[in-house]
Amino acid sequence: MRSKKTIWLAVAITACAGASLVACSSDPDDTGTAQPDASDTTTPDATDASSASDGTVRDSAPDQANPPVKTDSGKSDATVDATTPAVDADSDATVDATVTPDAGPALPNVDAAPDAPPVDAAADSSAAPTGSACAQDQLVQKRLCGYCGTESRICIAGDAGSLVWQDWGGCRGETTMATRCLPGDTRSMSCGNCGSQPQTCQNDCSWQGAACAQPPTAVCKPNTKEYVAGLSCDAGGRVRFCQNDCTFTDFSECLDPTQFDGGTSIPTGAVSIALSTNAGANKVTVNRSLPETAMLPRLGSGACPVTSIATSSTSYDYIVIGNPDAFRTAKVSVWTSPRTGDTTTNIDTVIAAYATRLAPPVSDAERKACTTGVNDGCTAVPSDPTACASSWAGLFNDGSNDRRVTLAPGQTAVIYVASYFIDDAGDYMLSLRTEVLQ
């Protein structure tokens, strides 16, 4: 059994060894005086305020038997140890957070296109006039011109040696679309039924329009027709025509059903033909037929109005013609001939006109009331290779008789063509030539 003295000696050696271990782990610069942790901001307890006889402050919290091992953060050795005295806030070592660190010497500006002159993109129609002073040699100005093209000029030394703006160059790159326009231009276009549409040219040189404004009374398109079967007619029906103000005329008298297709719009025997508005320059032609199934007592020969109607029925055709000019009266020559390329057909025809009518005449009294004709031949003045051949009839001013059809602005007339003999029928061509517009 060990003596108490031996036990106390072992304890004393162990304590001395622990103290030596602590002393060995201290910082070499440690003066032996404990320094407070700079990161510790905890207010000491009242018991901590008391001092030992050697003047050191005692921490009331027990020391950790096994303090945690700090893992290397990866920072450089320049990291300041917590025991290093703090830098004074007023010290010159303090870094001003508002100062941007120097990123090194500035690099020269690199032009992506070193040969391209500088461009002033803001140039427009208000740019300084040609010959006025400019500030930068080789500066280029560009602006829009014409139909969405561009023009440019340059700032170079003038005759006096000072920098001045030169003349604008030609307009380049203009759009070639057929409907191009100059930005800002305006116009009004016809639309719908007698409507109008204001349009403005956009910055891309194209037209843009507002909604079509149509009169409330407009119900149809001029020069169109509407045929309705029945309407108190034993056979056939009635037709009405759309006038220039987009309103319908009254329905006509009952019409022979063999002259119409029975549809709801276009009667085959009353096809409208618009005259040419180029006086003497152009003629209008249309291929027609004198059908064997359409027979009607022929008008008697002589000046209109006629007094008689023949007892024999022959093939016939009615055609509605119209003057599209809104301001000028037209005088028109009208004649029949074989169709182009047809060298065999030869029909002895008669021709007459009913001015101001929109629908073919029906009653005998209406049929006799023609305004020009009835002609069984013709003398073409001026001449035309298709006019007045053989027995084909026409309406001309031959110097002795002016049988041309007169149409007021926007007016229509009905042309009557028939075969003279009961056994004549077949295809033909009707020609109209505007001789006078005044």
Dihedral class, residue 138 (left if φ above 0, else alpha if ψ from -120 to 50, else beta): left
Cβ atoms within 10 Å of 380's Cβ, excluding its own:
18
Q: Which residues of 272-306 are buried (b: 16+ CB within 10 A; e: fewer)?
A: bbebbeebeeebeeeebebbeebbbbbbeeeebbb
Q: Which residues of 313-324 are buried (b: 16+ CB within 10 A; e: fewer)?
A: ebbbbbbbbbbb
> What is the pLDDT, as a whole number, of residue 253?
75
Q: Note the Cα 328 to chain centre separation in Å.
A: 35
> What is the pLDDT, as a whole number, of residue 343?
86
Count, residues in the chain: 438
Q: What angle do CA 88, 89, 94 make, to 5 degrees?
A: 100
What stretches of 166-308 adopt beta strand conformation (E)? 186-191, 195-201, 207-209, 225-229, 237-241, 272-274, 283-290, 295-299
> What is the pLDDT, as a whole number, of residue 204?
93
| Residue-wise DSSP of 111-134 | -SSTTSPPEETT--TTSPPTT-B-
Taking the C-alpha atoms of residue 20 and residue 274, their distance in angstroms, rounded to an integer, is: 127
In a 10 Å sphere around its CB, with 0-12 CB exposed, 13-18 middle and 19+ buried, how is residue 359 labelled?
Answer: buried
Which of the four CATH numbers 3.40.960, 2.30.30, 2.60.120, 3.40.140 does domain 269-437 have?
2.60.120
> What is the pLDDT, as a whole number, of residue 114?
47
* Amino acid at residue number 279: A
Q: What is the pLDDT along the chain (438 residues), one digit of tens a residue?
A: 444 444 433 444 444 344 443 343 444 444 444 444 444 444 444 444 344 444 444 444 444 444 444 444 444 443 434 344 444 444 443 434 444 444 444 444 444 444 555 655 445 657 899 999 999 999 999 999 999 999 999 999 998 889 999 999 999 999 999 889 999 999 999 898 999 999 999 999 999 998 999 999 999 887 677 878 888 988 778 878 788 788 888 887 777 655 444 333 333 334 467 777 676 667 888 899 998 888 899 998 888 999 889 888 999 999 988 887 766 788 999 999 999 888 888 999 999 999 888 788 888 899 999 999 888 888 877 788 888 888 899 999 888 888 999 988 777 889 999 999 998 899 999 999 988 887
The full set of domain ranges for the chain reads: 119-165, 177-218, 220-267, 269-437
* Amino acid at residue number 168: W
Q: Record the tokens describing residue 87, joined without a space.
A: 């830098």
Taking the C-alpha atoms of residue 256 and residue 229, their distance in angstroms, rounded to an integer, is: 11
Q: Which helix (H) or strand (E) holds 144?
A: strand 140-145
